[in-house]
Amino acid sequence: MKLGLLASHRGSSVQAVVEACASGRLAAVPRVVIGNNADAEVLARARRHGIPCCHLSGSTHPDPARLDEAILDALVSHDVELVVLAGYLKKLGPQTLRHFAGRVLNIHPALLPKFGGQGMYGRRVHEAVLAAGERETGVTIHLADDEYDHGRIVAQCRVPVLPHDTVESLAERVLDLEHVFLVETLAAIVSGAVKLP
C-alpha cells in the first residue's frame, strides 16, 4: 500500500508508520510526506528517512483552490493509494477529497463523536475530556470528509481516564496508544480485514 502522510508539527505518528514500514510490520511504503508548516519537525523526519516531502500551505499557495490542487498533485505524482492525516490540523480541499474518496484517514485523540470539531486538537481535546469528568477517552480513526472530525468511523480504541490524570499524563498515554493503534489499523486495511468503501 502506497501511503501519503500529512502532518502539521512533530509527526510522531508519521514516525511510527515509517518505522513499521521499514521493519516489515506494515506492508506499506511511505511515498510522500506533506507538512503545512515549513519548519515542522515532520519534514525533517521525512528527510532523515529519505522520503520525498514538501511544505504546502496558505503561505506557499494563498488561493485555497491552488493549494488543494498542489496537494492533490503531490499525492498523485507519488502514486499514493491511501492518505493518512496524522496530526494534520487543516481540512483537505474538495478536489483532493473527491479524488481520494473513501481513502483519506484521520486520527483524532478522543472517542468521536465526543470532543471533535473545529479547534479540537492537541491539549484542547484532553482538557475537554478532563473538564467533562469522562472516565474513558481513546483514539478514533475515521474517514475524512469536508467537516472536521466528522466522517465514518473506521476503528476506535479506549484509554481509561485515571483519577490523578493531568492534561499532560493523559495526552502522553493517548499518544503512545495512537502510534500502536494507527499501525495496527493500517495493517488491517492492507490485509483486507478492515474494508474501506
Residues marked as catalytic: 108
Cell of 155: 476503528
Instruction: Fill in the DSSP letter of residue 36.
Output: S
What residues form DSSP beta bridges with 20? none
The SS3 of residue 122 is coil
d(CA 12, CA 170): 16
d(CA 172, CA 73): 35
Instruction: Fill in the DSSP letter of residue 25.
Output: S
